[in-house]
Amino acid sequence: MSRTDANGTFTIHGLEAGTHEVRLDPTDGAVPAEPALEVDLAAGEQKSGVRLVYVKAPHKDVPGLTISGRVVDSRGAPVRATLMADTGCCAPPLPARTPEVQTDESGRFRIEGLAEGPCSIDVYSFDFDLTEASKEVTAGTSDVEIVLADRGAICGTVVDGKDGSPVREFRVISGGIRFGDENVRDAHGQFNLSHISAGSNVVIVTAAGYEKTLVDIPPLKGGETRRGIEIRMEAQHPVPIGSNPTSK
């Protein structure tokens, strides 16, 4: 499965050689203009220029109320995002799946077919923090503004705990609400983890010849870049063959 970007471009990774069916699952009432397209792939081939067409279906009045508005970032710029309303918010008959809409180029959205009362809306966008992307809105409300918090970054260095020399090859993971994971090869032991959620995070570092190291990072604000983190790793001490480390 793949989502198109703002230009309608898509890429599907991890396909084996053979014939594959590519089909559209458009939103906003659009319907495919043609059935699934069959694409033949040879081993290792990268095929470009595949063109899928859809048409906008005639607008139909959907029973129930609507919620409309914009999704923006902390600077007020529009955000491409997916919004999902709780199925419990929907006017009868309940839909087969959770109502899902996409924002347009200006960040605007419109969710239809809602029952009276409060409705919980979840917003998803890879480039922004999801911790503040849920909102409860009364059905029938317009001009709703949903602000997504920017994700932050954690930057620092990994060094030998004994002599302070840089560890040049390691893996660093941030175990916050959204995970960052990076394999690093750097002569100075420097790392930069991006797309880090606001709040508390734990950085985990592993490297050959060293003990796994966990470091608690003080809470980040939305969009904050935390610099100057130094992570000191202790060398592993091999257990002699034939010894029992648990014996006294």
What pLDDT score was predicted for residue 75? Answer: 86
The mean pLDDT value for 18-29 works out to 67
Answer whether residue 21 is part of any domain.
no
Residues 171 and 130 in one domain: no
Q: How far apart are the C-alpha atoms of 89 and 243, rounded to whole Å?
A: 64
What pLDDT score was predicted for residue 178? Answer: 46
| Total domain count, the chain | 2
Answer whether residue 22 is part of any domain.
no
What pLDDT score was predicted for residue 51? Answer: 76
For residue 93, pLDDT over 90 is answered with no
Q: What is the pLDDT of residues 124-139, one digit of tens each?
A: 887 776 544 578 899 9
26 compared with 199, residue with greater pLDDT: 199
**153 and 225 in contact (C-beta within 8 Å)?**
yes
What pLDDT score was predicted for residue 132? Answer: 47
Answer whether residue 88 is part of any domain.
yes
Residue ranges making up the domain that contains 114: 65-150
The mean pLDDT value for 202-231 works out to 92
For residue 177, pLDDT over 50 is answered with no
What pLDDT score was predicted for residue 145? Answer: 93
Q: State the average pLDDT for the chain.
A: 80
- Categorize the per-residue pLDDT at 58 as very low, low, confident or very high, splitting at 50, 70 and 90: very low
Kindly report the CATH number assigned to the domain that includes residue 71.
2.60.40.1120
Answer whether residue 80 is part of any domain.
yes
- Categorize the per-residue pLDDT at 60 as very low, low, confident or very high, splitting at 50, 70 and 90: low
In terms of Cβ atoms closer than 10 Å to its own Cβ (0-12, 13-18, 19+), residue 144 is middle
Answer whether residue 78 is part of any domain.
yes
Q: What is the pLDDT of residues 62-78, one digit of tens each?
A: 568 899 999 998 889 99
What pLDDT score was predicted for residue 4? Answer: 72
